[in-house]
Amino acid sequence: MHKFLKMAMDFCCHHEYDPKMEYHLCAIVIKGGSVLSVGYNKHTTNSFVEHYSSLTRGFNRDFCLSTHAEQSAILRVRGKIDLQGCDIYVVRRKWKESHYGIGRPCETCQHVLYNYGIKRAFYSIDDNRYGIMKINNPAEEYNAMANDRIENDIEFMQAV
């Protein structure tokens, strides 16, 4: 397991979360081997979260209107530190079972990470495995998928 994921796991275990939260997430922003910020998920929201949740398509609005760990980590340092080229490490833990699960950044968080210049996300898959995702512009990917669907619909309509 990567050392920064292990660090995020340790932070996740020792942070005091809202007891009503089923999942605990921790995100660490890293640049040049140094920790720049640590963030945790929470039920509260703010204008930053609301702005980015409006970009999300197909998700439960309540899910999007909570502060995700990635957003929390960005909020702590935005405007103070240039985040271009940083990596982020995200872990997700089901608190009652103490097992780690998939901490892959959601579409909303991908928008946030992309807009702040974060290039890669390392995320927990389970207690022993992790994944790595390159942060691309989610809006471009969504538009490409929408265009493909439209072209398929047009071809379908022409075939009838």
Tens digit of each residue's pLDDT (9 = 90 or more) over 99-146: 999 999 988 899 899 999 999 999 999 999 999 999 988 777 655 555
Q: What is the mean pLDDT of the chain?
A: 83
Predicted confidence (pLDDT) per residue in 68-105, tens digit: 999 999 999 998 999 999 999 999 998 777 899 999 99
Q: Which of 42, 29, 10 is nearest to 113 (CA)?
A: 29
The whole-angstrom separation of Cα 80 and Cα 14 is 26
Using DSSP's 3-state secondary structure scheme, residue 154 falls into: helix
Strand, helix or coil at 20?
coil
Residue 101 bridge partners (DSSP):
92
pLDDT at residue 16 greater than cutoff 80: yes
Domains held by the chain: number: 1
* Nearest residue to 26 (alpha-carbon basis) of 62, 75, 83, 68: 68
Do the strands 99-101 and 87-94 form a parallel or antiparallel pair, or are they unpaired? antiparallel
Residue-number span of the structural domain to which 106 is assigned? 3-159
| CATH code (residue 85) | 3.40.140.10
